[in-house]
Structure 1
């Protein structure tokens, strides 16, 4: 008996399908219906990301690390981290929108092609493995968050009120009691401003920072550096998966970086850093994103220029985005104060910000 034919790969099956007369007719109809001009979004992405996956990943890292850090020059030193809740809500909408509207559909169904129609071959085991990869990404960040909490004596946390540590990231390893001391210190200095300036000894005391607050600031920098490494890994994995996934991931992470950087900046100032020193420290932690991107590029190139590495990394990225957008950030948005009317208005604004962030990602994905 002749040996049974070897099973066809997905690529081989796709090639055979494209030779079918019915599929050829569908391809012709698709090309005829395609718009003659590219959309504004696609033209913008083509300008921002004109090179290879490695080049585009490095450019994306510069985009998400540079502008948010330069914006810190415009931030006042007495900014209240809790005032960032609307920005955090907007970032949640962007992260969840990118995950639900773009990453997950393309992970399970693949990316559309402008030249020809594509058919989805249902492979239950493959779908299960993709689901496992998403769960691994989610649980990996749970483990990192838990590990940092244990390392800091159980007082860690992922809180944008004091600093964000993401996605695309480990939670902020800050000493909670120290942060509360910092908050109380800021409030007391505001309330006793006249006394401080009227008594030299009181002014000197106001400049003293609780050691636990200083420790919280330095631990926050360590966790921030780690978080930025994971951002870089996400950038490289997404661009090797596809240019579109890379572009939308960059947008989602950029949305999240702004409240993250401002929150960390406020914490460092409360920890005793000068404005210049706090900005410098944030630039140093941004090196972590570049390091993560270079590591991701090396892994992708050594693994065959995208291939299986990108297929595995995209579900992992989706899992991390789900963790950051839900477990790590949503609890902060659920916090409420004693004034019901004010909290109701605040909640409506937060929901509106989430809708705007998700709407932008929906528009990009739809285009």
Structure 2
């Protein structure tokens, strides 16, 4: 590690103390245990959220959580992932989360040299993440035949009502209910009712499209958890104390993030139980990152070159393209104000966490 490369005479007496190096069994036990703790703790908090599914009775609270999720995603991208990608040693080296900036001789706003190339590289990878998520969503929509806009309010389509042969609007559910009652009295099922039910059972364009944003967010969260696992593994390689501090920092960061991910999955069409199961899957990314960091020291520094900014691009795409448009649909002034405050709260949470990292 870079701290060990300094001459002992330059360090204070407290800094001359050697870091406690764990034996391999203890190292893996502590690192993997910390990763499992970070993955499990937010999961139990989700039980307290009174949202079961994307239904009309839960829309007000769900959209408030979506506002918080959007603020958290954007705050995470601009205040956590991109800054750590610009200063790679701050996230993984020695397992610390300091924000020390490299000492650049001369003016700090140079347009030449490796620093400018690094910033350009980070910007390119952020844009690559946005474009990649766009391509994936376009591809999934094309494969599943999603040619519509794919957005709805309370899970219902805004398609115009069908016209009858006389030019009047079809009664829709009222006529269908009369047909069902008539069929029940006669014992003979109405063919129109059967055709209607058959259409409802077919996977529609709306359902296929709405689920894409949830899976895109899962992919971004999986990559994000991988980088967190890299940080945890590197921190325990540096020492038990550094590992404990890093674990606490990542845990505080993950709690609001997982709440936001849960809201996005429910809005995408998942039930509460399914959303919680899918979020457990993303814990595999953290375990993989921890294992890679322990098996190959220094891999975390190499990963920050592209994984962090690429994930930031994914978060920006999900937050702006998939989440914010849902907040622009038919809401009362008071609800709109609460949603804006929820978004600001999500950003403020990330500002607070980034400040104390």
Q: Does TM-score exceed 0.5, indicating one fold?
A: yes
1:262 aligns with 2:252: no
Determine the structure 1 residue equivalent to 2:103. 121
- State which structure, 1 or 2, has the greater radius of gyration over its C-alpha atoms: 2
Map 1:1-367 → 2, pairs under 5 A: 11=2, 15=6, 51-52=30-31, 54-65=32-43, 67-68=45-46, 70=47, 75=52, 78-79=55-56, 82-83=59-60, 84-109=62-87, 111=90, 118-122=100-104, 123-155=115-147, 180=157, 201=184, 208=197, 210-213=200-203, 217=207, 224=214, 227-241=217-231, 243=246, 246-247=250-251, 249-264=253-268, 267=269, 278=271, 281-282=274-275, 285-286=278-279, 288-297=281-290, 300=293, 304=297, 305-335=299-329, 337=330, 343-367=332-356
- TM-score, structure 2 as length reference: 0.61
Distance 1:154 1:196, change over 3 A: closer
Deviation at 1:194, TM superposition (A): 9.2
For 1:158 and 1:311, the matched residues in 2 are separated by 35
Asked if 2 retains the 8 angstrom alpha-carbon contact of 1:300 and 1:309, the reply is no
Change (3 A) 1:329 1:225: closer
Residue pair 2:82, 2:122 contacting (<8 A) in 1 also: no
Higher relative contact order (CA 8 A, sep 6+): 2
How many residues were matched structurally?
296
Cα RMSD between the aligned structures? 4.9
| Structure with more of its chain in helix, by fraction | 1
> Unaligned 5+ residue runs, structure 2?
16-28, 105-114, 162-170, 233-245
**Structure 1 residue ranges without an equivalent (≥5):** 1-9, 29-49, 164-178, 269-277
Question: Could you say what secondary structure the match of 2:145 adopts?
Answer: coil
> 1:87, CA displacement in angstroms?
1.9
- How many Å separate the matches in 2 of 1:77 and 1:196? 29
Residues 226 and 93 (structure 1 numbering): CA distance in 2 closer, same or farther, change over 3 Å? closer
